[in-house]
Amino acid sequence: MARPMIVIVCNVEGYADSDRSPALGAEGWAYKQGIGSLYAEAVWEAGGVPTLLPCLGEAEMVAEMLGRADGLLITGGADVAPLDYGAEPSPHLGGANPVRDATDRAAVAYAEANPDLPVLGICRGIQSYNAYAGGTLIQDIPSEVKGAIQHSQKSPSTLGTHTLHIVEPESKTAAILGPSPIAVNSFHHQAVATPAPGMLVTARASDRVVEAMERPGHKWCVLVQWHPEHMFRRDERQRELFEGFVAAAES
């Protein structure tokens, strides 16, 4: 049986500020696209074929690629522009990239309209899915969450440095990760604030920050705030997250 094709959203470096093609920055070569190799390695080792979706801000291209895909992986990256979810920018907002935002917006719109397409969102992936499905974000955890724990760790990325707790024991998240508490890595300063309508929060950190969500009624839509691609070779549960995603794409 052929492996399922998993489309992985690229991240971008630089900004498309020139009047030329939106794929080019002011210096042309300065605008680059790609992914961390561990996303592709985790998908391949779980049984899928990783295929990259470049961020050109072209909704038609996103729909064309996802129409041929068996699954969608929305990766980490820059902050989501707050105007996209009806907020003004915090002084602590990091850099946002309008081309990445446009690509994620189109990908989420396609996924929402096609609930049979399995989706895995990682870090920015949970944030952008929530924002473009109608929710809001915490723009900066340290300045907005009272009693916040450290969500941007200084330890190696393969190590879990804080715990999460399952809050929906009948969820896919619970079935994959098993009983709480679960140690995960953490590299973010934004997070879900108000979940999008119909979204189910399935796990939280000890400071109540959302760590995982699912989209009920969809074939397989699991969104996580940590980076399982950095942990899957050491932690069986993180590997099973990718295997569950790819199995849903294969069926």
**Could you list the active site residues?**
123, 227, 229
Report the distance separating Cα 107 and Cα 61, nearest Å.
10
CA atoms within 13 A of residue 211's CA, in its CB half-sphere: 29
C-alpha distances out from residue 137 to 31, 54, 85, 183, Å = 27, 25, 8, 23
Helix (H) or strand (E) holding 37: helix 37-45
Report the distance separating Cα 89 and Cα 139, nearest Å.
8
Which DSSP symbol is given to 161? -
Grouping H, G, I as helix, E, B as strand and the rest as coil, residue 202 is strand
Tokens of 91: 């002084």
Tokens of 7: 């489309």
Report the distance separating Cα 228 and Cα 236, nearest Å.
10
- Contact of 71 with 250, CB cutoff 8 Å: no
Report the distance separating Cα 25 and Cα 33, nearest Å.
11
Burial of 146 (0-12, 13-18, 19+ CB in 10 A): exposed
Tell me: cis bond preceding 115? Omega within 30 of 0 counts.
Answer: no
Q: How far is CA 1 from the centre of its chain?
A: 28
